[in-house]
């Protein structure tokens, strides 16, 4: 019996492998009718100009959902269709998704790498098939594959904005600052570098109070770790005046630690990102301000670069989108926060 299964399976496998073999001929001989299709495919019954495949890091993070949605919207305006899939933080899954994109014959692939280095082989595969690859948010860090253009937030400039906000806050009197860091993320390294640049420049000037960064701790970008390191820091630095946290979750973690110690009025927090929870905290006044990122603009710019590429223009290797400071008065005017207010 088992031999029969074996033979049967061999037949299935062989027919599966043979069918496409015959197909290559028939699919092309099918074109003998040879109707010339003009380049203007919009006239051909509104058919799409092509597919763009986007595999993101994780769709559970609303940030990437916004990028995907704005890409879909922008592409639709120009007759392209976007397929959005989530790599779920799994490089293998993401690599398989790129295989599927190639089979589907997409015109371009966009990805936010789940791992900036392990994705190289998959990018190379797309390159070998002549499909252009674009990245956004997180870049590809390697040399096996070739990326046409990387679109991201200008994290260095964002860090500088946070530094400026800190100087505005403490500049006159000076004070002590805790930095809640995430040193394994290249984007966060840039944020802290920009922040330190501005603070150092301020300290080099005469006549105003010095801003002293008393500790830089790894808050892992998460609420839990942000809470834990802040707890430790306020014990060893009881006179702390402010905190700069490299994203909203760790800023909110820091806030919980301050509230528990009854220090929420003595210590001011500056965050980063401007995700919904962060903006809500700014509206409530629990976080002073955020340099915010613009995921919608990131998605839109990604599509613009792809269109530019198909228009035969030379695309720059990297596009950085500047971030902006977002204070309470911005939150009060923010339409995305209003419905929650009413409810």
Partner 1 sequence: MNDSKPLRWKALANDYGMVLVLLILIAAFSVLTLERQSSTGSDAGRVVARNIIAAHGTSGTVVVVAGLKPPDERFLREAKEALEAGGVTVAAIVGGKPADARRTIERVLLEGHSIDAIAATGDAAKWSIYDRFESVGSNKCVSAAPALWPTFAKSENVLNVANQTAIYAIIAIGMTMVIITAGIDLSVGSLVALAAVATAVFIRDVGEGTQTGTGLMIAGCCVGIGVCALAGIFNGAMITRLGIPPFITTLAMMLMARGLARRLSNELSIQALPASFTWIGGDTTFGIPNPVILMITLYGIAHIVMSRTVFGRYVYAVGGNAEAARLSGVPVKRVIVIVYTLCGALAGLGGIVQASKLGSGDPKLGLMFELDVIAAVVVGGTSLMGGEGRIFGTLIGAFIIAVIKNGMNLMKVGAPEQQIVLGAVVLLAVLVDTLKRRGTAL
> Which of 70, 95, 250, 301 is close enough to bind partner 1 by CB under 8 A?
95
d(CA 1, CA 207): 92
Told to check if 144 binds partner 1 by CB under 8 A, we report yes
At closest approach, how far in Å is the CB of 123 from partner 1? Answer: 11
At closest approach, how far in Å is the CB of 94 from partner 1? Answer: 10
> Which of 45, 46, 103, 333 is close enough to bind partner 1 by CB under 8 A?
103
CB-count burial class (<10 Å; 0-12, 13-18, 19+) for 214: middle
Please give the residues from 198 up to 237 whose contact with partner 1 meets the rule CB under 8 A: none
Smaller CB separation from partner 1, 23 or 201: 23
At closest approach, how far in Å is the CB of 134 from partner 1? Answer: 13
Please give the residues from 147 up to 176 whose contact with partner 1 meets the rule CB under 8 A: none
Told to check if 37 binds partner 1 by CB under 8 A, we report yes
> Which of 61, 69, 73, 118 is close enough to bind partner 1 by CB under 8 A?
118
Please give the residues from 278 up to 337 whose contact with partner 1 meets the rule CB under 8 A: 307, 309-315
d(CA 203, CA 206): 7
At closest approach, how far in Å is the CB of 119 from partner 1? Answer: 8
Told to check if 20 binds partner 1 by CB under 8 A, we report yes
Please give the residues from 62 up to 91 whose contact with partner 1 meets the rule CB under 8 A: 83, 85-86, 88-91
Residue 82 neighbours by CB under 8 Å, 6+ apart: 51, 52, 53, 54, 68, 71, 72, 75, 76
Told to check if 132 binds partner 1 by CB under 8 A, we report yes
What one-character DSSP code corresponds to residue 172?
Answer: T
At closest approach, how far in Å is the CB of 71 from partner 1? Answer: 15
Half-sphere exposure of 4 (CA within 13 A, CB side): 1
Smaller CB separation from partner 1, 1 or 343: 1
Q: Report CA-CA distances (Å) from 32 to 39, 45, 47, 174, 302.
A: 19, 22, 22, 80, 38
> Which of 5, 204, 235, 343 is close enough to bind partner 1 by CB under 8 A?
5
Residue 260 neighbours by CB under 8 Å, 6+ apart: 231
Residue with tokens 């390159």: 127
Told to check if 265 binds partner 1 by CB under 8 A, we report no
Smaller CB separation from partner 1, 128 or 239: 128
Task: Please enumerate, as own/partner, the contacts of 99-102 that have beta carbons within 8 Å and a separation of 24 or more.
Answer: 99/125, 100/53, 101/53, 101/55, 101/126, 101/131, 102/126, 102/129, 102/131
Told to check if 16 binds partner 1 by CB under 8 A, we report yes
Residue with tokens 């496409």: 20
Binding piece for partner 1, criterion CB under 8 A, among 65-73, 104-112, 196-204, 243-251: 104-112
> Which of 61, 65, 73, 142 is close enough to bind partner 1 by CB under 8 A?
142
d(CA 315, CA 309): 6
């Amino acid at each position: 019996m088992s031999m029969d299964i074996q033979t049967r399976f061999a037949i299935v496998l062989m027919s599966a492998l043979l069918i496409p073999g015959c197909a290559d001929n028939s699919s092309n001989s099918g074109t003998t009718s040879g109707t010339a299709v003009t380049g203007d495919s919009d006239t051909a019954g509104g058919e799409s100009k092509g597919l763009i495949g986007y595999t993101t890091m994780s769709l559970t993070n609303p940030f990437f959902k916004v990028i995907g949605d704005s890409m879909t919207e922008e592409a639709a305006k120009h007759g392209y269709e976007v397929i959005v899939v989530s790599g779920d933080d799994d490089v293998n899954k993401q690599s398989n998704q790129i295989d599927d994109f190639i089979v589907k014959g997409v015109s371009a692939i966009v990805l936010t790498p789940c791992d900036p280095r392990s994705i190289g082989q998959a990018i190379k595969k797309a390159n070998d098939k002549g499909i252009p690859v674009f990245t956004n948010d997180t870049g590809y860090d390697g040399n096996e594959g070739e990326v046409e253009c990387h679109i991201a937030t200008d994290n260095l400039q964002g860090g500088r904005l946070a530094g400026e906000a800190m100087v505005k806050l403490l500049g006159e009197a000076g004070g002590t600052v805790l930095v809640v860091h995430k040193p394994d993320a290249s984007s966060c390294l840039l944020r802290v570098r920009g922040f330190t640049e501005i603070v150092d420049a301020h300290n080099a000037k005469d006549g105003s109070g010095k801003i002293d960064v008393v500790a830089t701790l790894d808050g892992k970008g998460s609420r839990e770790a942000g809470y834990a390191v802040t707890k430790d820091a306020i014990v060893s630095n009881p006179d702390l005046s402010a905190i700069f946290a490299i994203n909203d979750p760790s800023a909110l973690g820091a806030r919980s630690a301050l509230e528990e110690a009854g220090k929420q009025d003595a210590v001011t927090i500056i965050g980063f990102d401007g995700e919904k929870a962060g903006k809500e905290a700014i509206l409530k006044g629990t976080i002073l301000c955020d340099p915010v990122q613009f995921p919608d603009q990131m998605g839109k710019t990604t599509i613009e670069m792809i269109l530019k590429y198909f228009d035969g223009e030379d695309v720059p290797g990297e596009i950085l989108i500047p971030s902006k400071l977002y204070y309470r008065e911005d939150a009060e005017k923010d339409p995305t926060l209003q419905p929650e207010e009413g409810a």
